[in-house]
Structure 1
Amino acid sequence: MFAVGIAVGIDTIRIREKAGATDILGGGFAKCSILTDATSCWTDVGAPCRGLPAFSHFVIGAQTVRAISLFGRHDLTGAIHSPATWRACAARPDCGFGGISASGTGGRAATWRLQHQRNSDDRNGEDSMIKPHFALGAAPADERLPREFAPQTFWLSGCSRQPVGEEILHSHSSFYMVCGSSKTAIIDTGSSRDWVDIQRQLREALNGRTLDYIIPSHPEMPHMGNLEPLLELFPKAKVLGDIRNYHLYFPDMDDRFEMRHPGDILDLGNRKIEFIEAIIHDLPNSLWVYDHKEQVLFSCDAYCYTHEHEPGQCAMLAEELPDEPTVADTSFVTSRALAWTQVVDSEPFCKALDELLEARPIKFIAPTHGGVITDVRRMTTLFQEGMRQIRER
């Protein structure tokens, strides 16, 4: 039996079975999980993980670690965020974690990572170093970031390397800063893997100002993985968004979280940004953001794409790349990040994207897993076709 499961709540699992394959926990299939929300987990086994190391995990939140027991004991790779999560992992050897320790400085602001684990496939029995983001490691920091792609609108990012056959592709973990005359905000936080360079990028983009608002689009590692160190680095910053369950991660900081809904407006002084419904998303508490002044759509997990492993490309706009993104570049990321695209009719989502472009003037699209897009219509067409092809495979 081959299964793809979505668990909403630790005690609730919805399983879709496909005939003709082996058990979910065995049979040599590549296994890949992203455990995100403290009270939910998402697991996807098999085809979407082709080319990835066996069983990779992102782990956020102590209760999520407890949910790992749903999958039994396995060798895991990934990144752990927050001391509470680390303590929960350390207390649960049945989850398959080896020795766990913390790296970095700053107490709670430290990025907590798995450093060593026993690799069951290593016949020599040697410990292997864990690298977050599908265990493939970060690309070298691009010194051209942050990049001001519109007035007082900055692109910040880190990239991961993803081998596909003999080729190496890059996938962004981008986030963005919007500066008004009186307040500043970032949309998403970047991945904890990139925290060292992210601090440099933040300093340069802020240029002496402080950060007032942090807007994680949803509770997943590339989108809120640096939330804890950011809250310590900017002690007066508020977290805005659909923040259900965030208090489970940060019970001592509940007063710094404020709920927002689609249609809510955030005034930054001489510009306003709006929280809007996320048309494409992997968690129910996802929100997109629209900047009315510069006409930027911050699209979270939509409009994602890969690019080649070449110097300087990590800081190029989509249309500046020597080879502009293709349908294959978009579907590669989407099929792995959003497993539901393999089984759900994409046409309602494609129609909703068209309606959004008709309803709002959009000059730029700023995705998390990609660089800034300026040819909005072309990329929309590519992304829509990519979603259709995922379902047809």
Structure 2
Amino acid sequence: MNMDNTGDNVENAGNYFVNEAVGLPREIVTGVHWLGACQGYSELHGYNSTYLAVGENASAIIECGAGASYPHVIAQLEAVEAIGIPPVKYIFTTHQEVPHSGSLGLLLERFPEAVACGPVAEFHLVFPEFEDRLVEMEIGESVDLGGTTIDVLEAPFRDYLYTRWYFDSTKKVIFTGDGFAYSHYHGAGHCGHVAEEVPELALPEMTARFAENAFWWTTHVDIEPYVARLEWLLETTGAKTLAPTHGLPVLDIPKTLPELIKGLRLMSKVTADGRARVPVLGI
């Protein structure tokens, strides 16, 4: 489903997020809907995405988005609800940073039957009224949506120690949070498209620039063990789709992943034998 005009009239919250022409909500694979908004800059955009995974008995929201994006996300979500889906019973965040969890309280209020799942430590301090609806989940645990599960995965690339990724076991989608984050160009019509639909975008350079902030630690380590762990995770899960919070979704992993890994390698200034890499992109 692709409802290009859904939410166009929603008030722009602080002009930081926009909803014009983003082409969302979009069903990237059957039963997984891409929601969210772009940053409101004139040209270089970054997504603040939320995903809706639909099972036979329940639906799950993965990533809450910042508070400023909530009006757009809820309008898009209600458009998907209108076609008929099971109730939202689970809300997952990859970690506590505002772009990933800022709307958690609003979503718990909007969906009173739902519980917040994942690394929920400290949320009781921010949302004390929802303390009884916070469910800590560890790597290897899962919730059953009916016909599929949402599994908690380790996050090979993360900015917080307790960051988690999630996996829709039937649709084979990994929700990667800050993993595979990169910007895109609004003027070139990239908004609302998946990575394979914008082949002209320089993924390695864009990924490296975004990772400079989220994964600053990669400039101090040999990155290859982390790449190997990532490749192991993708192989063992049999993942077919990557759903990042800040980048365009990846529907063809064999084609696109090598370009994203190039970007992660641009970040590392240390080789396996401890030698410094040649600086790239001024990083």
Instruction: State if a TM-score over 0.5 links the two structures.
Output: yes
How far residue 272 of structure 1 moved from its aligned partner, in angstroms, is 1.3
State the alpha-carbon separation in 1 of the partners of residues 202 and 139 from structure 2: 30
Q: Can you list the C-alpha shifts for 1:321-378, whole angstroms capped at 9, x where unaligned?
A: 2524420011111112222222232111111111112212111100011121012133
Q: Give the counterpart of 1:299 among 173, 176, 192.
A: 176
Supply the AA of the counterpart residue of 2:92: I
Q: Give the counterpart of 1:235 among 97, 112, 119.
A: 112
Aligned equivalent of 1:326: 203
Q: Give the counterpart of 2:32 among 153, 160, 163.
A: 153
Secondary structure, aligned partner of 1:370? coil
Aligned equivalent of 1:190: 65
Does residue 253 of structure 1 match 2:120? Answer: no
How far residue 193 of structure 1 moved from its aligned partner, in angstroms, is 1.7
Aligned equivalent of 1:373: 250
- Residue correspondence of structure 1 range 81-92 to structure 2 within 5 A: none
Aligned equivalent of 1:360: 237
Report if the CA contact (8 A) 1:305-1:329 is conserved. yes
Q: Can you list the C-alpha shifts for 1:44-89, whole angstroms capped at 9, x where unaligned?
A: xxxxxxxxxxxxxxxxxxxxxxxxxxxxxxxxxxxxxxxxxxxxxx
Report if the CA contact (8 A) 1:195-1:226 is conserved. yes
How far residue 214 of structure 1 moved from its aligned partner, in angstroms, is 0.4
Report if the CA contact (8 A) 2:195-2:256 is conserved. no
How far residue 382 of structure 1 moved from its aligned partner, in angstroms, is 2.1
Secondary structure, aligned partner of 2:88? coil
Q: Can you list the C-alpha shifts for 1:197-239, whole angstroms capped at 9, x where unaligned?
A: 1111110122355321100111011111111111111112100
Supply the AA of the counterpart residue of 1:266: V
Supply the AA of the counterpart residue of 1:216: T
Using the TM superposition, name which of 371-380 and 152-161 deviates more. 371-380
How far residue 157 of structure 1 moved from its aligned partner, in angstroms, is 1.6
Matched positions, count: 257
Q: Please give the root-mean-square deviation of Cα atoms over the aligned residues, in Å.
A: 2.1
Q: 1:232 to 1:154 in 2, by over 3 A?
A: same
State the alpha-carbon separation in 2 of the partners of residues 312 and 183 from structure 1: 34
Report if the CA contact (8 A) 2:195-2:249 is conserved. yes
How far residue 161 of structure 1 moved from its aligned partner, in angstroms, is 4.6
Supply the AA of the counterpart residue of 2:36: S
Secondary structure, aligned partner of 1:274? strand
Q: Give the counterpart of 1:169 among 35, 44, 67.
A: 44
State the alpha-carbon separation in 2 of the partners of residues 344 and 161 from structure 1: 34
Does residue 274 of structure 1 match 2:145? Answer: no
Report if the CA contact (8 A) 1:276-1:289 is conserved. yes
Aligned equivalent of 1:202: 77
Aligned equivalent of 1:180: 55
State the alpha-carbon separation in 2 of the partners of residues 337 and 205 from structure 1: 31
Which 5+ residue runs of structure 1 have no aligned equivalent? Answer: 1-112, 114-130
Q: 1:351 to 1:322 in 2, by over 3 A?
A: closer
Aligned equivalent of 2:166: 289
How far residue 143 of structure 1 moved from its aligned partner, in angstroms, is 5.6
State the alpha-carbon separation in 1 of the partners of residues 235 and 22 from structure 2: 36
Report if the CA contact (8 A) 1:158-1:191 is conserved. no
Secondary structure, aligned partner of 1:290? strand
Percent sequence identity over aligned pairs? 32
Q: 1:224 to 1:141 in 2, by over 3 A?
A: farther
Report if the CA contact (8 A) 2:22-2:191 is conserved. no
How far residue 146 of structure 1 moved from its aligned partner, in angstroms, is 0.7
Secondary structure, aligned partner of 2:162? coil
Supply the AA of the counterpart residue of 1:237: A
Aligned equivalent of 2:17: 138
Report which of the two has the higher share of strand: 1
Supply the AA of the counterpart residue of 2:234: L
Does residue 343 of structure 1 match 2:202? Answer: no
Q: Can you list the C-alpha shifts for 1:100-159, whole angstroms capped at 9, x where unaligned?
A: xxxxxxxxxxxxx9xxxxxxxxxxxxxxxxx5xxxx832443362110111111011211
State the alpha-carbon separation in 1 of the partners of residues 170 and 91 from structure 2: 19
Structure with the larger RCO, 1 or 2 (CA within 8 Å, 6+ apart): 2
State the alpha-carbon separation in 1 of the partners of residues 262 and 188 from structure 2: 29
Secondary structure, aligned partner of 1:315? coil
Does residue 390 of structure 1 match 2:267? Answer: yes
How far residue 172 of structure 1 moved from its aligned partner, in angstroms, is 0.7
Report if the CA contact (8 A) 2:196-2:256 is conserved. no
Q: Can you list the C-alpha shifts for 1:264-292, whole angstroms capped at 9, x where unaligned?
A: 12100111121111111111221111111
Report if the CA contact (8 A) 1:179-1:185 is conserved. yes
